[in-house]
Amino acid sequence: MVYFALKITGNLAGVDNLQPRGGVDDPDHPYLFKLQCENCGEISGKFSCVMLSEEVPLPRVYGKGNVNLVQKCKLCDRVGTVKMISGFGKPLNHTSGECGRYVGIMIFECHGLAPVEFSFGGVWKAQSRKKLLEIDLSKGEFNDFNERVHVTDLKAKFERMKTF
Ligand SMILES: [Zn+2]
C-alpha cells in the first residue's frame, strides 16, 4: 500500500486560510485528479473525482471494506483503488504560502494507482479582513479587485509516502 499526500501552495493577498468550503475534510468536497496506472504507466484521460462521503466496496480480491474509488486501467485492465484518509490536512495560510512552502491538505491510500495532475475543483473558501469568501479556483487563480483579494500561482503536487 502506498500513500500520497496532496500538497498545495500559492500566493494569498487579502485573504488567509484557503481550504475547501467545508474544511479540508469537507465530506462533499470533490477532489479531482488524474490517475496513473502503476502497472503499465498509462495516465487516465479524464479526471477522477473522489469525496469522503462517497464510498464503494473494495473489489472482493482485495478483501473487505470500503474505498472512495475503484478504477480500471483502460490499457491493461488492472484494477486500482483510492481511499481518502481524513484528519491530517491543514488550510493554506499566509505564512506558508508566502514563502512557497507546500501544505498537505489530504492523504490518499492507493493500490495500483498513483494520483497525478490535481485540479482545483469545487468551491473553496478563504477569510478576508471583512468576511468569509467562497471562491472558485477552477481557472487556477481568483481575483476580486473590489475587495483587493487575490489568490494566484496556485500549485499542487502529490508526495509519495511509505507511511504517514
Ligand atoms: Zn495499466
Segment 36-79, tens digit of pLDDT? 999 999 999 999 999 999 999 998 888 899 999 999 999 999 99
Indicate the average pLDDT of the chain: 94
Residue 158 confidence (pLDDT) above 70: yes
Domain with 81, as residue range(s), is 2-161
CA of 36 to the centre of ligand 1 (A): 8
Q: Which pLDDT score, from 0 to 100, does residue 103 have?
A: 95
Q: What is the 3-state secondary structure (H, E, C) of the chain?
A: CEEEEEEEEEEEECEEEEEECCCCCCCCCCEEEEEEECCCCCECCCCEEECCCCCEECCHHHCCCEECEEEECCCCCCEEEEEEECCCCCCECHHHHHCCCCEEEEEEEEECEEEEEEECCCEEEEEECCCEEEEECCCCCEEECCCCEEEEEEEEEEEEECCC
Which tops the pLDDT comparison, 96 or 50? 50
CA of 10 to the centre of ligand 1 (A): 33
CA of 79 to the centre of ligand 1 (A): 8
Residue 112 confidence (pLDDT) above 90: yes
Confidence band for 97, pLDDT divided at 50, 70 and 90: low
Confidence band for 3, pLDDT divided at 50, 70 and 90: very high
Reported pTM: 0.94
What is the number of structural domains in the chain?
Answer: 1
Q: Which pLDDT score, from 0 to 100, does residue 67 have?
A: 97
Residue 157 confidence (pLDDT) above 70: yes
Percent of the chain with pLDDT over 90: 86
CA of 50 to the centre of ligand 1 (A): 20
Residue 35 confidence (pLDDT) above 70: yes
| All residues with CB under 5 Å from ion ligand 1 | 37, 39-40, 42, 73, 75-76, 78
Residue 96 confidence (pLDDT) above 80: no
